[in-house]
Amino acid sequence: MRAQTMIAATALLCAATWSAAADASVIKIGALFAVTGPASFLGAPEQRTAEMFVEQINAKGGLGGHRIVLIVKDTQGSPEKAVSFAKQLIEEEQVFAIIGPSTSGETMRIKGLCEESRTLLISCAAAEDIVKPVARYVFKTPQTDADAARRILDVLKKRKLSKVAILSSNTGFGSAGKKQLETLAPEYGITIAANETYDKTATDLTDVATKVKAANVQAVINWSIEPAQAIIAKNIRQIGLTVPLFQSHGFGNLSYAKAAGQAAEGIIFPCGRLLVADVLPAKHPQRAVLMKYKTDYEARYAPDAVSTFGGHVYDALLILVSAVETAGTDREKARAAIEKIQGLVGTAGVFNFSATDHCGLAKDAFEMLTVKNGRFVLYKD
């Protein structure tokens, strides 16, 4: 009896696996998001966006006639988990493509893995290292951190602020941004008078702010994605520093501005146009896409809930849809199709890919924003 049950179970399992593998009407897309953990500010809106997008596509008859099956794995922002989940998605699930991971550190750890196994990876993380040097199967949708750094340095140069402090959190995002600023600052004739890294879970940073004050700088640039970026804003103002505060594109989430309250006023940061979609001129090329994503997302989840990070997943899926529609579900052809995408309007900007550019966005994909009366508005110098 027991042996029979075992055989039956095995047979059933085989049948199930076989039917799933052979089910041509389904296209499997893996997703690695930091849904929980310290980077959940990225992963949670990303997961919601992916679910919404896939539902919309499937309701319209799927992707080229194939129903999309989305397999989301929560990496908790840990590179080790990202690696093991990526292996699982590639080897067991044999997914068509992987969207994510949410953070640069995780992406760098699985870049080689995806390249070797010829799995399409469309990362939602910003570091330039992801696409430089180019890996044939690895793409990314957020604007490059080097461009964010350049936009900030542009403003500094224009305002003749030549002595700055750089603060960054001890994460992949923080150290990548710090590296970019260190490399680019000399080109703009800007000296770095203080350069400090703080813990991502810090509860108060008055001591770090004091060190900045001691360095007598003309501006502060902070590079992090964690809640600490709101803490540092408060601490800098509390100890009486009034110099301009610049943040990275990681500040693009209204809940940070709310957490910093009065101290957030006047913070300048580069960001995609999603958060200012409603004040863009009607004829702006991105306006239609941005407003559709914003209205859909906020209708489904909560008002004012949209964040740029979910937008990166939206773009990744737009790219994948475009590739499959032109080249079908052959992975090799789809990969080549992505490299040929021109003028695809996404939430982060207008994508123009090539064999040597796997990011596809230019410096102007960033808009400089500032905080005014608790809202994000366009920065004007």
Residues at the contact surface with another protein, assessed by CB under 8 A: 36-38, 40-41, 43-44, 170, 196-199, 201-204, 206-211, 213-214, 227, 230-231, 233-234, 237-240, 255-256, 258-264
Of 57 and 264, nearer to another protein (C-beta) is 264
Beta-strand ranges (E) seen in the chain are 26-33, 67-74, 97-99, 120-123, 138-140, 163-169, 191-198, 219-223, 245-247, 268-271, 344-345, 350-351, 367-372, 375-378
Indicate the residue among 286 and 370 with the shorter CB distance to another protein: 370
Provide, rounded to whole angstroms, the least separation between the CB of residue 158 and another protein.
26
Closer CB to another protein, 14 or 302, in the complex: 302
Minimal distance, residue 213 CB to another protein, in Å: 7
Using CA atoms, how far residue 89 sits from 97, 98, 160, in Å, is: 9, 8, 50
Q: Where are the alpha helices (DSSP H) in 244-330?
A: 254-260, 287-300, 308-327
Q: Which residue has the tokens 């540092």?
A: 232
Nearer Cβ to another protein (200/273)? 200
Shortest distance (Å) from residue 37 CB to another protein? 7
Residue 72 · residue 82 · CB < 8 Å? no
The set of long-range contacts for 292-297, using a CB threshold of 8 Å and a minimum separation of 24, is: 293/49, 293/347, 296/52, 296/56, 297/48, 297/49, 297/52
CB of 94 to another protein, least distance (A): 30
CB of 72 or CB of 138, closer to another protein: 72
What are the two backbone dihedrals, phi and then psi, of residue 169, each rounded to the nearest 5 degrees?
-90, 160
Q: Minimum Å distance from CB 224 to another protein?
A: 12
Dihedral (C-alpha) 374, 375, 378, 381: value to the nearest 10 degrees? -10
Query: For tokens 């679910």, what's the residue?
Result: 51
State the nearest-atom distance from the C-beta of 184 to another protein, in Å. 21
Which of residues 219 and 236 has its CB atom nearest to another protein in the complex? 236
